Chains A and B, each alone.
Chain A
Amino acid sequence: MNPAQMFGEHLPAMAVLLPALTAILLLVMGDQGGGANSSERGRRRLLRARRIGLVSTLIGLLIAIELAVLASDGAIMVYRMGDWPAPYGIVLVIDRLSALMLVLTSAVALPVLWYATGGWDAHGRYFHALFQFQLMGLAGAFVTGDLFNLFVFFEVLLIASYVLLAHGQGRERFRVGLQYVVLNLAASALFLIGVALIYALTGTLNMADLALRVPMVDGPDAAVLEAASLMLLVVFGFKAALVPLSMWLPATYAAACAPVAALFAIMTKVGVYSILRVNGVIFGVDAGAAALGAQPWLLPLALATSALGVTGARAARTLPRLIAWLTVSSVGTILAALGLFTEAAWSAALYYLIQSTLVMAGLFLLAELVAAQRGDTADRLVPASPVAQPALLGGLMLLAAASAAGLPPLPGFLGKLMILNASSAHAWQVAVWSVVLLVGFLSLLGLARAGNVLFWHVRDDLPPATHTGASLKLVSAALSLLGAAVAMSVFAAPLMRYTDATSAQLRDRDAYAEAVLGEQGGAQADTARPYRIQRRGAGESQP
Chain B
Amino acid sequence: MSMEFLVATGIGWVSFCGIYLLLRGRSYPVVLGLTLLGYAVNVFIFTMGRLWTAAAPILTDGPDVADPLPQALVLTAIVIGFATTGFVIELALRSHHESGTDHVDGTPVDEGADGDRQ
Contacts and interface: CB of A to CB of B under 8 A. Distances in A.
A543 to B, nearest CB: 4
Contacts of B64: 531, 534-535
A197 B73 CA distance: 13
A301 to B, nearest CB: 23
Interface of chain A: mostly helix, strand, loop or mixed = helix
Contacts of B55: 531
Nearest to B107: A175
B84 A155 contact: yes
Nearest to B72: A148
Given A159-B87, A177-B91, A178-B95, A196 B51 contact: no
Given A148-B73, A174-B94, A177-B95, A185 B63 contact: no
A223 interface: no
Q: Chain B contact residues (Cβ within 8 angstroms of A): what range?
A: 35 or more
A392 to B, nearest CB: 36
A265 B88 CA distance: 23
Nearest to B63: A534
Interface in B18-34: 22, 27, 30-31, 34
A67 to B, nearest CB: 27
B87 A192 contact: no
B116 interface: no
A162 interface: yes
A531 B50 contact: yes
B1 interface: no
B41 A189 contact: yes
B83 A159 contact: yes
B76 A148 contact: yes
A135 to B, nearest CB: 19
A165 to B, nearest CB: 10
Contacts of B31: 182
B17 interface: no
A12 B89 CA distance: 36
B38 A155 contact: no
A85 to B, nearest CB: 15
B70 A196 contact: yes
Contacts of B84: 155, 159, 181, 185, 188
Given A178-B91, A541-B4, A530 B99 contact: no
B92 A192 contact: no
Contact of B41 (A192, A199, A200): A192
Given A174-B99, A199-B48, A186 B22 contact: yes
Contacts of B76: 148, 152
B101 to A, nearest CB: 10
Contacts of B54: 543
Nearest to A184: B84
A182 B50 contact: no
Contact of A196 (B48, B59, B106): B48
Interface in B33-67: 34, 37-38, 41, 44-45, 48-55, 59, 63-67
A103 interface: no
A543 B52 contact: yes
B6 to A, nearest CB: 13
Contacts of A541: 4, 50-52
A162 B91 contact: yes
A287 to B, nearest CB: 20
A171 interface: yes
A194 B38 CA distance: 14
Contacts of B30: 182
B50 A171 contact: no
Contacts of A195: 45, 73
A174 B98 contact: yes
A421 interface: no
A199 B37 contact: no
Top 7 closest A-B pairs, CB basis?
A175-B106, A200-B48, A174-B95, A543-B53, A196-B48, A530-B65, A196-B45
Interface of B: 3-4, 22, 27, 30-31, 34, 37-38, 41, 44-45, 48-55, 59, 63-67, 69-70, 73, 76-77, 80, 83-84, 87-88, 91-92, 94-95, 98-99, 104-106
24 contacts: A162-B91, A166-B91, A166-B94, A175-B95, A177-B91, A178-B91, A179-B104, A182-B34, A185-B38, A186-B34, A192-B44, A192-B45, A193-B41, A195-B45, A196-B48, A196-B73, A199-B73, A200-B48, A200-B49, A530-B67, A531-B64, A531-B65, A534-B65, A543-B51
Given A178-B91, A181-B91, A531-B67, 20 more contacts: A169-B98, A178-B27, A182-B31, A182-B104, A185-B34, A188-B80, A192-B41, A192-B44, A197-B48, A199-B69, A199-B70, A199-B73, A528-B69, A530-B65, A531-B50, A534-B63, A534-B65, A535-B63, A541-B4, A541-B52
